[in-house]
Chain A
Amino acid sequence: MRNPECCEVMTPHEQRLFDKMEGKEDRFRAGHSRVFTILESFEGLRPRIDVERAKYFTESMRATEGQPLVLRWAKAMRHIAENISVYIDDHQLLAGRAGAQGRYGILYPELDGDFLGLAIEDLPKRTESPFTITPEDARVVVDEIAPFWKGKTYHESLNLALPADVHKLTYDDPEGLHSRFIVNETSSFRSSIQWVHDYEKVLKKGFGGLKQEALEKLAALDPLSPADNCEKRPFLEAVTIVCDAMAIWARRHAALAREKAGVETNATRKAELLTMADICERVPEHPARTFHEAVQSQWFTQMFSRIEQKTGTIVSNGRMDQYLYPFYEKDMAEGRLTEDSALELIECMWVGMAQFIDLYISPTGGAFNEGYAHWEAVTVGGQTTDGRDATNDLTYLFLKSKREFPLHYPDLAARIHSRAPERYLWEVAETIKDGSGFPKLINDEEIIPLYVSKGATFEEAYDYAVSGCTEARMPNRDTYTSGGAYINFAAALEMVLYNGRMKKYGVADLGEHTGDPCEFKSWDDLWNAYVAQHKLFLKTAFMQQHIINNLRARHFAQPMGSTLHDLCMKHCLDLHTPQIPEGINLGYFEYIGYGTVVDSLAALKKVVFEDKTLTMAEVIEALECNFEGKEDVRQILRNAPCYGNNDDYADTIARDIDQLSVEYGARYSKDLGMHNDVRYVPFTSHVPFGKVVSATPNGRKAWSPLSDGSSASHGADVNGPTAVLLSNFSSKNYGYRSRAARMLNIKFTPKCLEGDDGTQKLVSFIRTFCDLKLWHVQFNVINRETLLAAQRDPEKYRNLIVRIAGYSAYFVDLSPDLQNDLIARTEHGTM
């Protein structure tokens, strides 16, 4: 502690920053020296683009034109496995990377190769998330890779396939290089939405075992059936090829490990390398026998999956504390493993993940995922397939690792259910208090009944794994779709105000002609106009999705992912097939700007139609000049009821808006053969979406970010965290099943969480979150930096409450002097 004299609270996360500033060694370094050393070897390095995956993929695809796509893909995978450079990093205990050492990203030209020329010039200059590329690699991209894909990429097909009325709300230019950020398609910057493999299958059967299954199925095909021969045979052959590819790739690592061991002078490292060589010879081809083998097998599988396709936000890790536990338990019992050595292996995986960057080469993709974000979720806790609590020693080890090892990866997700043990919630709460924002919480009590209602069995639903940012997957039952539309409903609102137009796009007629808003006589007129625009956007999104669903299978195959899926193997169909019998296709579309729209409608309802403080014309005049010289109008609007305060006035509007979406989804998802349900999870896209929306009636200035997920507008939730949860609850339509994830972020001041008493209160808060059947919540513990930011930008932080016994006030209302005092004291936890 900085000043041990005084009763202070720093989050361990802050403590670490201070230690670093003072040049002190991280207090956990001693216990984790291997991973710290690896971390320091790449921390802060600018990521580079590695072109090998794209190069070998293209080489193979060039040679197999005309053959069934799944077979071509498998051959390409084998070609990559045979040729791509293999690496074993210094100090690492796990072998396998998908590209060069340091931080790196790889290319998927089949997806969006038409952006490549542009991107190679642009990426190093990009302000958010820049990448470097060597001149030789740049040449390979421009001369060898890009030309082959010209006219063949998924993105070009989609651009051509969209009807004019859909295209104009999707893209800003005829080539579809730039998004309009209105009904934004996301399928062209990832081959599928987020996904989780059934890793347990690899650990238990090995790819050798899975290949054997495919061979048996091949032998059992009807030799005279054209369907068996034209459809099933190529699929099964592809499975055998890709299983071979996995073994080839692993054995090349074994050879490299032996080679390195041969020249290694340090005896300890030499022994490590020889062990690694043995393990890479065994897995993932054969079943894993030890914890180390299991971790290596999983790592090979997920790294190769990254090579196979660009899965949205990167393929997730599934329920690691469940499928690794038998290996852990056995090794511990037999004395092969200690808690520390298990932790070291796991953390070797974390630092491996941290180096792989989710590279988006299209400008839209880049804007969606600022700061190199990736979400390869690791799920802990939850329930067993028969509905009992699933926590075990590994669960606690993962939580411990998150507290002690300062890394954003993996994205740790803790499942919460009504009978979660107190110890589990306690440790989850302690980990959150650490201040890095992890784990995020996902609620079994919402997801399991919902998934059962969508057609899953209880066993499948109980066994879901968190996937990507907030989703839940059943790796053998659900089948995926392409990324769905991200819909800017704040643009729908703007179109209500300007009769189908937007300031950003001038005279272009984009929306419905809902008339001159100054002629609206009542709230009903306004609401109906919004409904009309809302429905147009939904129709556009669903048409997009319809086209995408059918287009996708012509461009992508995923033989390895399909090998791991029960239904794909049963029906001999690639996972990209639009309809897989018995599958449950869980897709979604995204509502962007929820708080912004709700607050804007609530403000107009109250100020214009009820209190009549302002006329619609006055409001629009102020919006048109972005409130320049109209601060009074802005304040009046802003002080109307807002979503996020457990205020019925705003929350009722929020629920009505949600209902428009769930109703539409319930009615028209059938046309798509999927569940296309409403979700509120923006990544960082509420920022670029805000950049096309002019000033809004909630007092938001033009081009500034929209509200985030199902959270309140910036600073609008002035009643504290309980009200935020309750608003979220009140605005949901529990009578419908056509709903997907809702993301909710909540800020806490360290003082509220101080000591055991604070932890206990957080545990109660989490239990109430569970009772309320909300989908997701993630906490941020406010630190000094937050307060400094609040001083600079009071508008955004007007909800920040200083809570001290018997006293409370808004931080932004304090004089600068008192604010400074509090900033100094935050380190002491008085806030």
Chain B
Amino acid sequence: MNPTDDTNGNGIIFNIQKYSVHDGPGIRTVVFLKGCPLRCEWCSNPESQATRIQLAYNTGRCLGLSQCVRCVEMCLSGAISRGEDERIVIDRALCAECTRDCTSVCPSNALITYGVRRTVREVLRTVEQDSLFYARSGGGMTLSGGEPLMQGDFALALLREARKRRIGTAVETCGHVQWETLDEACRLTRTLLFDLKHVDPARHEAGTGVTSTLILENFRRVMEHHPKLHVMVRTPVIPGFNDDEAAISAILDVLAPYPHVEYSLLPYHRLGTQKYHFLGREAPMGEVKLDDKRMASLSRLVAARRG
């Protein structure tokens, strides 16, 4: 692909969120790309994990089978059946080869797909709508996910096109990606949001499915090869995983040589649990909550060590 004209390149996204104010500097639009190499138990965007387009069902919005049976009638594979409480039951295994658009008949958006294929041009057209706000606030586009760099060509093409349109960019990464892609993203982006979840490889693997080795190696290389890049490191504080002084201290040790890096903690919240249910899954973390006192003491630790 010719890197200067890849606006017809496309990828799968699951949301474009305007007026985001917690995902980089200024007023931003976040483009959520689908697909992630990690499987964090606490993920608040479970719809981001698989790269493929997925069927989701929001029981709260469903009108109930006495009012509407449109999707049942639409489905020819027997994947949708009548369940209890007026709700439908979906056997997603039967959807694999299906090309019927059952979500289009749902009047209330109870049945939706997570994920839609969009070209670079289409995404940027939406992103550019808020360009005046970016110009005034120092904001821009943030690529998030999932892991945006998993759809590497698409992500890089988005960054190039944003640059051409003079839109500021940020990339949010889990770090578990090919170095070449990350390296190129660092060249293109204005801000990098890098998640460090745990330093210990085994603990990291237990919580996310992969070890921390590649992530820490990539972090070190970013620091080495892109010393001037604006980097913000974030740690989601997860009960039972890293909500202890030792875990956070270890991350602070990694960051110690890099005083220019901004660091913040993101307290765990369980607002994603609903989306697991929409996908027909149980939320792995259940009802666990983060202890406010612990969170506060970790915040103090960070403040003490990074000023």
Contact across chains for A813 and B61 when beta carbons are under 8 A apart: yes
Q: Map CB proximity to B onto A480-516 as digits: 1 under 8 Å, 0 otherwise.
A: 0000000000000000000000000000000000000
Q: What B residues does A5 contact at CB under 8 A?
A: 292-293, 296
Among B45, B108, B132, point to the contact of A806 (Cβ < 8 A): B45
Contact across chains for A818 and B292 when beta carbons are under 8 A apart: no
Contact across chains for A635 and B108 when beta carbons are under 8 A apart: yes
- A666 in the interface, Cβ–Cβ < 8 Å? no
Q: Which residues in window 106-132 of B have CB below 8 A to A?
A: 107-109, 129-130, 132
- A765 in the interface, Cβ–Cβ < 8 Å? yes
Q: How far is the CA of A723 from the CA of B61 in the complex (A)?
A: 24
Q: A723 CB to closest chain B CB, in angstroms?
A: 6
Choose the segment among A102-110, A206-214, A766-774 that binds chain B (4+ C-beta atoms closer than 8 Å): A766-774
Contact across chains for B27 and A765 when beta carbons are under 8 A apart: yes
Contact across chains for A803 and B293 when beta carbons are under 8 A apart: no
Choose the segment among B17-25, B203-211, B245-253 that binds chain A (4+ C-beta atoms closer than 8 Å): B17-25
Q: A409 CB to closest chain B CB, in angstroms?
A: 32
Q: Map CB proximity to A onto B19-60 as digits: 1 under 8 Å, 0 otherwise.
A: 111110011000000000000000011000000000000101
- A802 in the interface, Cβ–Cβ < 8 Å? yes
Q: How far is the CA of A635 from the CA of B62 in the complex (A)?
A: 10
- B241 in the interface, Cβ–Cβ < 8 Å? no
- A555 in the interface, Cβ–Cβ < 8 Å? no
How many of B's residues come within 8 Å of A, CB to CB? 47
Contact across chains for A767 and B21 when beta carbons are under 8 A apart: no
Closest to A794 in B: B60
Q: How far is the CA of A719 from the CA of B20 in the complex (A)?
A: 11
Contact across chains for A807 and B272 when beta carbons are under 8 A apart: yes
Contact across chains for A808 and B20 when beta carbons are under 8 A apart: yes
Q: What B residues does A818 contact at CB under 8 A?
A: 270-271, 273-274
Q: How far is the CA of A3 from the CA of B144 in the complex (A)?
A: 33
Q: How far is the CA of A808 from the CA of B271 in the complex (A)?
A: 9
- B63 in the interface, Cβ–Cβ < 8 Å? yes
- A265 in the interface, Cβ–Cβ < 8 Å? no
Q: A720 CB to closest chain B CB, in angstroms?
A: 4
Contact across chains for A806 and B266 when beta carbons are under 8 A apart: yes
Q: What A residues does B26 contact at CB under 8 A?
A: 761, 764
- Given known contacts A722-B133, A771-B132, A818-B273, is B44 in contact with A807 (CB within 8 Å)? yes
Among B70, B136, B267, B296, point to the contact of A768 (Cβ < 8 A): B136
- Given known contacts A631-B63, A818-B273, is B132 in contact with A803 (CB within 8 Å)? no
- Given known contacts A806-B45, A806-B266, A809-B274, is B67 in contact with A722 (CB within 8 Å)? no
Q: What B residues does A266 contact at CB under 8 A?
A: none
Q: What B residues does A633 contact at CB under 8 A?
A: 107
- A25 in the interface, Cβ–Cβ < 8 Å? no
Closest to A636 in B: B107
Q: What A residues does B58 contact at CB under 8 A?
A: 813
Q: What A residues does B68 contact at CB under 8 A?
A: 631-632
- Given known contacts A765-B27, A807-B45, is B133 in contact with A758 (CB within 8 Å)? no
Q: A6 CB to closest chain B CB, in angstroms?
A: 5
Contact across chains for A7 and B18 when beta carbons are under 8 A apart: no
Among B132, B139, B271, point to the contact of A809 (Cβ < 8 A): B271
Contact across chains for B109 and A639 when beta carbons are under 8 A apart: yes
Q: How far is the CA of A806 from the CA of B194 in the complex (A)?
A: 12
Contact across chains for B20 and A7 when beta carbons are under 8 A apart: no
Q: How far is the CA of A67 from the CA of B247 in the complex (A)?
A: 91
Q: A228 CB to closest chain B CB, in angstroms?
A: 58
Among B18, B45, B137, B299, point to the contact of A719 (Cβ < 8 A): B18
- A694 in the interface, Cβ–Cβ < 8 Å? no
Q: What B residues does A830 contact at CB under 8 A?
A: 267, 269
- B234 in the interface, Cβ–Cβ < 8 Å? yes
Q: What A residues does B87 contact at CB under 8 A?
A: none
Q: B140 CB to closest chain A CB, in angstroms?
A: 12
Q: Which residues in window 381-407 of A have CB below 8 A to B?
A: none
- B150 in the interface, Cβ–Cβ < 8 Å? no
Contact across chains for A765 and B137 when beta carbons are under 8 A apart: yes
Among B18, B137, B296, point to the contact of A720 (Cβ < 8 A): B18
Contact across chains for A771 and B136 when beta carbons are under 8 A apart: yes
Q: What A residues does B130 contact at CB under 8 A?
A: 722, 726
Contact across chains for B295 and A6 when beta carbons are under 8 A apart: yes
Q: How far is the CA of A633 from the CA of B33 in the complex (A)?
A: 33
Q: How far is the CA of A821 from the CA of B288 in the complex (A)?
A: 13
Q: B136 CB to closest chain A CB, in angstroms?
A: 4
Contact across chains for B44 and A635 when beta carbons are under 8 A apart: no
Q: A731 CB to closest chain B CB, in angstroms?
A: 15
Closest to A822 in B: B271
Q: A95 CB to closest chain B CB, in angstroms?
A: 47
Q: How far is the CA of A369 from the CA of B175 in the complex (A)?
A: 57
Q: How far is the CA of A719 from the CA of B22 in the complex (A)?
A: 16
Q: B116 CB to closest chain A CB, in angstroms?
A: 16
Contact across chains for B63 and A635 when beta carbons are under 8 A apart: yes
- B161 in the interface, Cβ–Cβ < 8 Å? no
Among B17, B107, B234, point to the contact of A639 (Cβ < 8 A): B107
- B172 in the interface, Cβ–Cβ < 8 Å? yes
- B275 in the interface, Cβ–Cβ < 8 Å? yes
Q: What A residues does B70 contact at CB under 8 A?
A: 632
- Given known contacts A767-B136, A771-B132, is B274 in contact with A761 (CB within 8 Å)? no
Q: What B residues does A752 contact at CB under 8 A?
A: 19, 21
Among A757, A767, A803, A806, point to the contact of B144 (Cβ < 8 A): A806
Contact across chains for B274 and A806 when beta carbons are under 8 A apart: no
- A646 in the interface, Cβ–Cβ < 8 Å? yes
Q: B302 CB to closest chain A CB, in angstroms?
A: 12
- A721 in the interface, Cβ–Cβ < 8 Å? yes
Closest to B265 in A: A7
Contact across chains for B109 and A764 when beta carbons are under 8 A apart: no
Among B21, B271, B272, B275, point to the contact of A761 (Cβ < 8 A): B21
Among A3, A726, A808, A814, point to the contact of B17 (Cβ < 8 A): A808
Q: A585 CB to closest chain B CB, in angstroms?
A: 35
Q: B149 CB to closest chain A CB, in angstroms?
A: 15
Contact across chains for A722 and B19 when beta carbons are under 8 A apart: yes
Q: What A residues does B144 contact at CB under 8 A?
A: 806
Contact across chains for A761 and B22 when beta carbons are under 8 A apart: no
- A271 in the interface, Cβ–Cβ < 8 Å? no
Q: B215 CB to closest chain A CB, in angstroms?
A: 17
- A789 in the interface, Cβ–Cβ < 8 Å? no
B residues near A (Cβ < 8 Å) are: 15, 17-23, 26-27, 44-45, 58, 60-61, 63, 67-68, 70, 107-109, 129-130, 132-133, 136-139, 144, 172, 234, 266-267, 269-275, 292-293, 295-296, 299
Beyond A758-B21, A761-B21, A807-B271: 5 further Cβ-contacts under 8 Å? Answer: A639-B107, A720-B19, A805-B22, A815-B274, A818-B270
25 contacts between A and B (CB under 8 A): A6-B295, A7-B299, A631-B63, A632-B67, A632-B68, A636-B107, A720-B17, A720-B19, A721-B19, A758-B21, A764-B26, A764-B27, A765-B136, A768-B136, A771-B136, A772-B132, A802-B271, A803-B17, A804-B269, A805-B22, A806-B45, A809-B274, A809-B275, A815-B274, A830-B267
Nearest 10 A/B pairs, CB to CB: A764-B137, A720-B19, A635-B107, A635-B108, A805-B22, A764-B136, A636-B107, A632-B107, A807-B44, A720-B18
